């Protein structure tokens, strides 16, 4: 198998690259990476393997410099004779930002960039599978507090919390515009958070939200809404096994399903047990987030409900001496809190039936292996980054 992998420098792609590089069935992995030079791209690849002392097989892993934003990308991929023997494409690259300020880039990368890859893919003589890493959250924000099935998406009527999920939904439609159904495989992970092993994950993104919640302690969210969260090692194992499995479907949730879904209540109980010096967690209604934002600007109405929680206001005053920092954290956390309220659980029956994989570990259990990493997250820097 000769694989063309995009997004290898990312959270999921890095794990996929390392896992795939260890398989005898995989002959070559062309890694599509943006970079200013050949030297830099090798350094980026070395970093992926050095993180956990994995073997970087230079004969097997072949960098292909490129950028999804490049207007001539399809043409330059078509002209590149060395990648003509690709039979599997794994498209993991995406702009995953939830922040509205990056909406244009999100559209350009996740729809425009994907279409350029597809225009090249359809010219490949031996293409057997285009594995698109989608997201289960393309189902939109109107589905609440229930199990979601693969066949419910893509749904053009779905309303989206963020542009990212909208573009990932349209990505699936683009696959069908350019490729026959038998070449399309869609893996739709739910929320990928940290790693269930005691290792440093390649990205802090969702753990950043947990670290921020951990520092705030007064949380405007429903603590009992179900959360479908999986660790990146499970996501990778499932995606790789799916690629080699005898499949009965072309779309699969990679998720916890109902059996291993968690809640903010369960996760925060474990945080409380570890970070004992902080005030206990308390959950309030989501709309109180607006009062929190007003409070940081000294504009909170005197009769506001938030004043019922003086312990937390005093704690914030001491812990966040600069109210601007607190404002940045609230703004960064806002879309994550919206997702937390949805109570969506993604059915994983297809995955468990067709792939030899166990149920994922529950996030409230494996979070215990993430505590030292959580402690090191600079929440303010993270809020500015994502």
> Which residue, 184 or 278, has its beta carbon nearer to ligand NAP?
184
Question: Could you tell me the CA-to-CA distances from 163 to 34, 138, 157, 169, 206 in Å, in that order?
Answer: 23, 10, 14, 10, 18
Residue nearest to ligand NAP (CB): 10
CB of 200 or CB of 325, closer to ligand NAP: 200
Shortest CB 287 distance to ligand NAP, Å: 26
| Least Cβ distance, residue 20 to ligand NAP (angstroms) | 14
Nearer to ligand NAP, 13 or 343 (CB): 13
Longest CA–CA span in the chain (Å) reads: 70
Interface positions with ligand NAP (CB under 6 A): 7, 9-13, 34, 67-69, 92-96, 109, 113, 133, 135, 168, 189, 191-192, 203, 206
Rounded to the nearest whole angstrom, what is the least distance from the CB of residue 327 to ligand NAP in the complex? 25
162 vs 292 by CB, closer to ligand NAP? 162
- Is residue 256 within 8 Å of residue 196, measured between CB atoms? no
When the beta carbons of 92 and 268 are compared against ligand NAP, the nearer one is 92
Cβ at position 290, least distance to ligand NAP in Å? 26
- 92 versus 360: smaller Cβ distance to ligand NAP: 92
Minimal distance, residue 15 CB to ligand NAP, in Å:
8
Contact 306, 292 (CB under 8 A): yes
Q: Smallest gap, in angstroms, from Cβ of residue 241 to ligand NAP?
A: 16
8 A C-beta contact, residue 196 and residue 143 = no
């Amino acid at each position: 198998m000769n694989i063309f992998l995009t997004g290898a420098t990312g959270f999921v792609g890095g794990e996929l690259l390392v896992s795939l590089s260890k398989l005898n069935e995989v002959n070559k992995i062309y890694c599509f990476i943006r970079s200013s030079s050949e030297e830099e791209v090798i350094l980026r690849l070395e970093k992926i393997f050095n993180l956990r002392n994995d073997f970087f097989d230079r004969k097997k892993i072949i960098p292909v410099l490129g950028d999804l934003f490049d207007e001539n990308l399809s043409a330059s991929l078509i002209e590149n004779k060395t990648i003509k023997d690709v039979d599997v494409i794994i498209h993991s690259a995406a702009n995953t930002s939830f922040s509205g300020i990056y909406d244009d880039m999100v559209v350009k990368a996740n729809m425009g960039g994907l279409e350029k890859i597809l225009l090249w893919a359809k010219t490949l003589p031996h293409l057997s599978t285009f594995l698109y890493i989608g997201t289960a959250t393309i189902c939109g924000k109107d589905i609440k507090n229930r199990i979601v099935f693969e066949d419910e998406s893509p749904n053009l009527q779905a309303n989206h919390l963020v542009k990212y999920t909208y573009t990932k939904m349209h990505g699936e439609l683009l696959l069908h515009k350019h490729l026959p159904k038998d070449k399309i495989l869609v893996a739709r992970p739910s929320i990928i958070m940290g790693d269930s092993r005691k290792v440093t994950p390649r990205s802090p993104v969702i753990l950043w939200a947990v670290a921020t919640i951990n520092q705030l302690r007064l949380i405007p969210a429903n603590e009992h809404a179900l959360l479908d969260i999986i660790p990146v090692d499970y996501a990778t194992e499932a995606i790789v096994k799916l690629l080699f499995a005898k499949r009965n479907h072309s779309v699969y949730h990679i998720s916890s399903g109902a059996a291993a879904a968690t809640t903010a209540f369960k996760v925060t109980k474990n945080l409380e047990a570890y970070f004992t010096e902080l005030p206990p967690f308390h959950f309030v209604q989501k709309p109180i987030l607006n009062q929190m934002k007003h409070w940081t600007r000294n504009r909170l109405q005197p009769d506001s409900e938030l004043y019922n929680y003086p312990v937390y206001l005093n704690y914030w005053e001491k812990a966040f001496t600069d109210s601007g920092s607190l404002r940045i954290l609230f703004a960064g956390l806002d879309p994550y809190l919206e997702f937390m309220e949805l109570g969506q659980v993604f059915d994983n029956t297809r995955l468990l039936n067709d792939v030899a994989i166990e149920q994922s570990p529950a996030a409230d259990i494996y979070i215990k292996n993430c505590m030292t990493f959580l402690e090191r997250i600079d929440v303010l820097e993270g809020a500015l980054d994502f």
